[in-house]
Structure 1
């Protein structure tokens, strides 16, 4: 049976869930909704990076979207505690790839608390992760 690349692509559900489900969970909790498109794409490209065929390219795309979130970095810290649903998805990733899990935790942490500190940590981590893959 051929993979349905339009309606049911395997590279978006290799961790046991559809990437869009995690993206929706994160976006619902985000205090700065203007970042939703960028964060959603960063999560998508990160999750599919190992399965689509060009890991470095997908990680570079995720990095590009993260870099463009700098516009929305806040001076204040946000406290978002209702992350149980998000953590269910992330724990599935951690079982298969712990380093990718850490990167996704950084993305989600910045999405939910877009402080300069979290942005810097995410930017540093994604660059390091890509460098390890090259």
Structure 2
């Protein structure tokens, strides 16, 4: 899809200068939402883009399902967001769910 020509006024919906109004054909980007790309795609609390052991990379490489993948994710970030006990409890919740199902 070709970029739309920049306009003088930002879109009232998303603030983009690339179009005057959002349509269903316009994908919502992190830029439109004001979100830093790395904060969405490779958050530091999950390892970051340059870390070969970033949680999502490990989960995908090992072919883990939803519950075990979330168990690994919360264990991996337990000391990185200042909520260690909460993350450990979340990890345990997903592990228990996997065991029960």
Partner of 1:131: none
Partner of 1:37: 66
TM-score by length of structure 2 reads 0.54
Q: Deviations over 1:23-59 (max 9, x none)?
A: 11222xx6xxxxx100000000000111012010001
Aligned residues: 64
Displaced runs of 4 or more, over 4 A: none
* Higher relative contact order, structure no. (Cα contacts within 8 Å, ≥ 6 residues apart): 1
Indicate which of 80, 93, 96 corresponds to 1:51: 80
SS of corresponding position for 1:53: coil
SS of corresponding position for 2:69: helix
Indicate which of 32, 38, 42 corresponds to 1:8: 42
Instruction: Work out the CA distance in 2 between the residues paired with 1:71 and 1:12.
Output: 27
TM-score by length of structure 1 reads 0.42
The structure whose residues are more often helix, as a share, is: 1
SS of corresponding position for 1:51: coil
Q: Larger Cα Rg: Structure 1 or Structure 2?
A: 2
Runs of 5+ unmatched residues, structure 1: 31-35, 73-134
**1:88-107 counterparts in 2 under 5 A?**
none
Runs of 5+ unmatched residues, structure 2: 1-35
Note if 1:24 corresponds to 2:27: no
Contact 1:3 1:10 in 2 (8 A): no
